[in-house]
Amino acid sequence: MNIYVANISYQAKDADLLELFEQYGEVSSAKIIMDRETNRSRGFGFVEMPDDNSARQAIEGTNGQSFHGRDLVVNEARPRPQGDRGGDRGGFRGGNDRGGYREERRSYRRDEY
C-alpha cells in the first residue's frame, strides 16, 4: 500500500520517515519529496508498505502524531490520474493561434503612427 504523508518538517530526512513507519511493519520505501530548484523538502512524502494491514495500522498510528515538531497528516495515497504528468498547465499549445495577441499588437502599432 502506498501512504501519503503531509506536514513533514523541512528538517526531516528519508531515514527519519523510514524509522517512524518501521514501528508498524516492513517498509519497502520512504521518500520525502524535494523541490527540484531549491533541493529543499516540499513538506510531504510517500511510504510504501507491502502488507496492507500493517499499512492501515501505520496510518492510524501516525496520523496526527507529532513528528519533528509538526503534526502529521497521513492517509492512503490516491493513484495519479492516467496520462496526467503535469506538463500541460494551460500555456501555449503550439500552432499559430495565440488568442489574438499578434493582431492586437499590430493594431496598437498602427494607432501609434
Confidence of residue 82 (pLDDT cuts 50, 70, 90): confident
Q: What is the count of structural domains for the chain?
A: 1
Top-confidence residue, 93 or 12: 12
Residue 105 lies in a domain: no
Write down the mean pLDDT value for the chain: 84
Residue 106 lies in a domain: no
Helix (H) or strand (E) holding 47: strand 41-48
Q: State the residue range of the domain holding 41.
A: 2-76
Separation of alpha carbons 8 and 12, rounded Å: 7
Q: How far is CA 35 from CA 8, 12, 24, 44, 83, in A?
A: 14, 14, 28, 11, 22
